[in-house]
Structure 1
């Protein structure tokens, strides 16, 4: 199946600035970028590169003033339902080195502060895929989605207390709960199918039995 995605961005730079754009879909198993185009007004020096996680980034250098950016892409997706739903998480001692950082607490996902709560809420579930499904259900039922209720300083522990947020907060809380239970988890963002109103969307992924699985507590 093919999808058309795109965005229009505008910036007003008060002086020389470097813009780092994460707007290009990843190239990975089950996903291929068929074609894409990028328009920048005024034309700026640009650099395309992949980061260590395989995210495709664009770096622009502006001397200041107004910058308008338009991006469009046609993306082919091959969707295969998760045939295997692991019941046990991987032994941390056997995880690949590049996965280990996704077990650690971070600025927005203070998993060390949520160990007790995560164990209380989800400790009875089979550790693995079922655990993540259970915590997604809990987040969806207990956290209200309301636009404009959080900002760049809001973390997972804040959401536990205020029980309201946006998709980014749902993802941060899911990641924090997973890491608190010893399940590697990472943040994901991109274009969501039929999202209204159109906007970038956030979800999270967990690493089980050698594979990353996507989960979306916002739904």
Structure 2
């Protein structure tokens, strides 16, 4: 499936500063970048960096002068999604996890799984398989947390979301991650471009490590699961911020868009009914 994604950002730079952007689509086994371009106005020095895990792509901008800086990114991406039935997949014990998975078991800045241990185990601990547990977590979040724009801020954590029972996609993702980790299920933050998201914006959800695969979940149910173009993953939003600012800089505009441009009709994939009724997903 082919998607055309774009991002436009504008910053008012008050003093010489550095920006580290995280807006490039990732190159993965299931995601191929066919074409992309990044335009900075006025021209500044750009350096592309890769995260230590080899996935996330960063663009570091050294901005020596004051004034407005405009950033435009476009990419044509070919995505492949594989639908698997994980309801009866063989469970992998922690002792056999790959070392790269282990950091996603631990509490992090926005995902305090240690504080949510009792909630997670009392609510989901008796569910039969890890897949069913994660499915139940996303269903519980959707039913108990109101999607409410502007209600939370950059300091809001999973623990805050439980008590406030409201938030945006970032908060839904952090809560899902924290509850998974409290059940000893590795989980990581996912940010990307989102097809059919209204209004258009960057979108956050999460992946859980099940049966040796990273499986995508979105507790907001705002978009089809196969309508995402991955930008970054991390322990939480701190690892996958769209922009990290070092200096006297103010964001004046930010937009993101994702268009489906494949010739074949788009067939959305959702988790449709509870797996307890015998259906995993379509």
TM-score (norm 2): 0.75
8 Å CA contact 1:99, 1:184 repeated in 2? yes
* Structure 1 runs of 4+ with >3 Å offset: 83-89
What does the per-residue CA deviation read over 1:32-62, in whole Å, with 9 as the maximum and x for residues that have no partner? 0100011100101001122123011111111
Please tell me whether residue 156 in structure 1 is matched to residue 135 in structure 2. Answer: no
In structure 1, the residue matched to 2:27 is 27
8 Å CA contact 1:30, 1:79 repeated in 2? yes
8 Å CA contact 1:48, 1:58 repeated in 2? yes
RMSD of aligned C-alpha atoms?
A: 1.2
8 Å CA contact 2:86, 2:210 repeated in 1? no
8 Å CA contact 1:87, 1:130 repeated in 2? no
In structure 2, the residue matched to 1:215 is 217
Please tell me whether residue 199 in structure 1 is matched to residue 184 in structure 2. Answer: no
Residues 1:179 and 1:86: Cα distance change in structure 2 (over 3 Å): farther
In structure 1, the residue matched to 2:60 is 59
SS in 2 for 1:173: helix
Partners of 1:3 and 1:30 in 2: CA distance: 13
Aligned length: 219
SS in 2 for 1:126: coil
Partners of 1:80 and 1:187 in 2: CA distance: 20
Structure 1 residue 84, shift from structure 2 partner? 3.8
8 Å CA contact 1:88, 1:127 repeated in 2? no
In structure 2, the residue matched to 1:190 is 192
Residues 1:170 and 1:98: Cα distance change in structure 2 (over 3 Å): same
Structure 1 residue 127, shift from structure 2 partner? 3.2
What does the per-residue CA deviation read over 1:11-35, in whole Å, with 9 as the maximum and x for residues that have no partner? 1122111111111111112210100
8 Å CA contact 1:89, 1:183 repeated in 2? no
8 Å CA contact 1:114, 1:180 repeated in 2? yes
Partners of 2:90 and 2:156 in 1: CA distance: 31
Residues 1:213 and 1:132: Cα distance change in structure 2 (over 3 Å): same
Relative contact order, higher structure (CA 8 A, sep 6+): 2
Q: Which runs of 5+ in 1 are unaligned?
A: none
8 Å CA contact 1:86, 1:209 repeated in 2? no
Which deviates more, 73-82 or 87-96?
87-96
SS in 2 for 1:117: helix
